[in-house]
Amino acid sequence: MEYTSVLTEVRGRVGIVKLNRPQAMNAFNMTLVAEVFDALEAFDKDENIGAMIVTGSEKAFAAGADIKEMAEASPFEMISQGRVEKWDRIRGIKKIVVAAVSGWALGGGCEFALSCDMIVASESAKFGQPEITIGVIPGAGGTQRLARLIGKNLTMEMVINNRTLTAAEALQFGIANRVVPVEGYLDAAVAFAEEIASRAPLATRMAKDAVNAAFETTLTEGLKTEKRNFYMLFSTEDQKEGMKAFIEKRKPNWKGK
Ligand code: HXC
């Protein structure tokens, strides 16, 4: 697929998808949504890729869904276009996706970052859900993911009072994994993702699946998922190799099998 609104790049075993609509602060129009997921799904299938990054520009990760594109839409049009459902494709990605966020991550931009597995934020990152200021509410998971991540009160403040969180606050409240200087923030995210990409691929996938189960099921069901994934990994060559390498005091050589 030829992309018009994202740029892709591979560094080592890390696949990078860069949101690239600078004229609109990387607002997600339908094309951008389709392209970012297409690019992520292609990296997800690529054996040479171990982890992925989604990033924007230094000034804006993304300023939300494209307001101009949906301003006149009827509910029927929104539903039939699957405006929000299209964002669920992120849930099908099996490898780890890191959001490298600098500048504005607003509305759908914040929600997109929250849908990723981890966030590396530059010191200039600002997270917010300003939909209320344009007469709507978050639609791509913001109310649910934020409430699970940072609790009800702060979520209410973000969603109702349009409170924006700085990078330092995002780190403090558990939204961001790392805060790094603006200069070189993408390099820092790549180093972070390289570390992830160096892990046993199937174990990484099973770990992501098990952690996500904690947000979607009861404790009993989540524990079942964890146990099943744990046992299943004993069928992999990588488990044999990992444990053998430990005993032989050497580095494991992962095969992803
Ligand atoms: C369409 C947008 C946009 C958006 C910015 N632009 N955000 N266009 N949709 N979400 C455009 C502006 O219209 C402008 O175009 C250009 O990008 C530069 O933006 P400025 O506002 O001039 O820049 P600045 O003054 O630096 O302010 C940056 C900003 C502000 C704080 C990010 O643009 C802003 O508040 N944007 C809207 C944020 C928002 O409300 N997001 C929620 C959207 S709803 P022109 O042509 O004038 O140069 C949502 C729901 C998701 O996300 C549900 C899932 C489907």
Nearest CA to ligand 1 atom 47: 24
Instruction: Determine the atom of ligand 1 nearest the C-alpha atom of 133.
Output: 40
Please indicate, yes or no, whether residues 159 and 185 belong to a single structural domain of this protein.
yes
Q: What is the DSSP letter of 232?
A: H
Please indicate, yes or no, whether residues 53 and 125 belong to a single structural domain of this protein.
yes
Mean pLDDT for 81-108 is: 96
Report if residue 73 sits inside a domain: yes
Report if residue 81 sits inside a domain: yes
Report if residue 184 sits inside a domain: yes
Please indicate, yes or no, whether residues 18 and 80 belong to a single structural domain of this protein.
yes
CA–CA separation, 204 vs 12, rounded Å? 18
pLDDT at 84: 94
Ligand 1: centre distance to CA 12 (Å): 34
φ/ψ of residue 251, rounded to 5: -80, 140
What positions carry a catalytic annotation?
65, 108, 111, 131
Say if residue 95's pLDDT is above 90.
yes
What tokens does 241 get? 């190799």
DSSP string for 136-193: ----SSHHHHHHHHH-HHHHHHHHHS-PPEEHHHHHHTTS-SEEE-STTHHHHHHHHH
Instruction: Determine the atom of ligand 1 nearest the C-alpha atom of 104.
Output: 32
212: confidence class by pLDDT, cuts 50, 70, 90: very high
Give the residue carrying structure tokens 């009827």.
74
Say if residue 170's pLDDT is above 90.
yes
The total number of structural domains that make up the chain: 2
Distance from chain centroid for Cα 121: 12
Range of the domain at 77: 6-197
Residues 6+ apart with CB under 8 A from 31: 4, 5
pLDDT digits (tens, 9 = 90+) for 214-237: 999 999 999 999 999 999 999 999
Please indicate, yes or no, whether residues 53 and 179 belong to a single structural domain of this protein.
yes
Please indicate, yes or no, whether residues 122 and 230 belong to a single structural domain of this protein.
no
pLDDT at 245: 98
Please indicate, yes or no, whether residues 111 and 238 belong to a single structural domain of this protein.
no
pLDDT at 202: 97
Mean pLDDT for 178-201 is: 98
Asked if 61 and 22 touch (Cβ cutoff 8 Å), the reply is no
Distance from chain centroid for Cα 97: 5
Please indicate, yes or no, whether residues 16 and 139 belong to a single structural domain of this protein.
yes
Ligand 1 in reach of 84 Cβ (< 6 A) = yes
Give the residue carrying structure tokens 């046993």.
200
What dihedral do alpha carbons 202, 203, 208, 214 form, nearest 10°?
Answer: 130
CATH number of 107's domain: 3.90.226.10
Q: Mean pLDDT of all residues in the chain?
A: 97
Say if residue 1's pLDDT is above 80.
no
| Of 197, 212, 229, the domain-final residue | 197
Please indicate, yes or no, whether residues 73 and 86 belong to a single structural domain of this protein.
yes
CATH number of 219's domain: 1.10.12.10
Please indicate, yes or no, whether residues 63 and 169 belong to a single structural domain of this protein.
yes
Ligand 1: centre distance to CA 68 (Å): 9
Ligand 1 in reach of 203 Cβ (< 6 A) = no
181: confidence class by pLDDT, cuts 50, 70, 90: very high
Report if residue 68 sits inside a domain: yes
Please indicate, yes or no, whether residues 53 and 176 belong to a single structural domain of this protein.
yes
Report if residue 254 sits inside a domain: no
| Of 176, 197, 218, the domain-final residue | 197
Ligand 1 in reach of 68 Cβ (< 6 A) = yes
φ/ψ of residue 2, rounded to 5: -80, 125
Please indicate, yes or no, whether residues 88 and 184 belong to a single structural domain of this protein.
yes
pLDDT digits (tens, 9 = 90+) for 102-161: 999 999 999 999 999 999 999 999 999 999 999 999 999 999 999 999 999 999 999 999
CA–CA separation, 164 vs 85, rounded Å? 25
Separation of first and last alpha carbons in the chain: 29
Instruction: Determine the atom of ligand 1 nearest the C-alpha atom of 130.
Output: 40
Report if residue 253 sits inside a domain: no
Report if residue 164 sits inside a domain: yes
29: confidence class by pLDDT, cuts 50, 70, 90: very high
Ligand 1 in reach of 159 Cβ (< 6 A) = no
- Tell me what percent of the residues of the chain surpass a pLDDT of 70: 100
Single pTM value for the model: 0.97
Please indicate, yes or no, whether residues 150 and 53 belong to a single structural domain of this protein.
yes
Ligand 1 in reach of 106 Cβ (< 6 A) = yes
Give the residue carrying structure tokens 């570390």.
195
Report if residue 167 sits inside a domain: yes
